[in-house]
Amino acid sequence: MLIDAHCHLTDGAFDPDRAAVLARARAAGVGHVIVIGTTLEDSLETAAFARATAGCSATAGVHPHEAKTWSAEVAARLRALLHDPEIVAVGETGLDYHYDHSPRDDQRRAFEAQLALAAEARKPVVVHAREADADVAGLVQEWGRQVPAIVLHSFTGSRALFDVGMDVGAYFSFSGMISFKNWRPSVRPSDCPTDRLLVETDAPYLAPVPHRGRRNEPGYVREVAASLAQQLAQTPEAVAQRTTDNAVRLFGTRLAHALSAPPSLVS
């Protein structure tokens, strides 16, 4: 069994065929999917979706792109949402200085506030970092031991973030990017402790080879795991077992509940 540790299943890209997407994931051996929240409204949706769909759990948070929407009211409503058993982590949060969709000060403020919420709620934090590794590393260093765990999602292998991640015992979640021919990381998956490895799709984005450039979906986490297995010189089965064990330890035993049959799925 495989667990997709990061996917945006509430994204409009899945509106036409969400149930079929999950049926294909199930057929591909995906037992559980973590549905990631990106705004307060989206997090309410991911929670409802996970509540209605066996084999799905959710996160609640505000993505760095949306950090300009952060407010005391958003914080209070997220804090309340974190009590829901379907919500297994805070996020995704972090910093993205590539797109700068929100002012950097807003991004840092929303990130730090979500780290504080996670420390209070005792939930792991799913962290997005793009061209902001120094600032992300600083906040992860500061908060990494005050939250139950940090997940460096779609980890791209930068050295600054790796060193801090190692220091705070972070999890390194690899996406389809590791299957791209032009992927030249300074830190390889084999540098990461095996009990800290996760696999994810980040669907609908970052489809792995041979689906690159098309819509990604949770079933393709199989290709991500295959690529990881190749790089670790392990069998796909060993990598599936290892990353699933890691995800259950990280997010909780709720993840042992597997995807149900398609007819009960919300579409």
Residues found near Zn ion in the complex (CB under 5 A): 202
Of the pair 6, 211, the CB lying nearest Zn ion is at 6
Of the pair 213, 263, the CB lying nearest Zn ion is at 213
Residue in the shown chain whose Cβ atom is closest to Zn ion: 202
**Smallest distance, Zn ion to C-beta of residue 7, A:** 8
**Residue 239 contacts residue 44 (beta carbons within 8 Å):** no
Residue 63 CA to residue 197 CA, distance in Å, equals 22
Contacts of 142 (CB under 8 A, 6+ apart): none
**Smallest distance, Zn ion to C-beta of residue 34, A:** 10
**Smallest distance, Zn ion to C-beta of residue 116, A:** 21
Of the pair 202, 217, the CB lying nearest Zn ion is at 202
**Smallest distance, Zn ion to C-beta of residue 35, A:** 10
**Smallest distance, Zn ion to C-beta of residue 206, A:** 9
**Residue 29 contacts residue 55 (beta carbons within 8 Å):** no
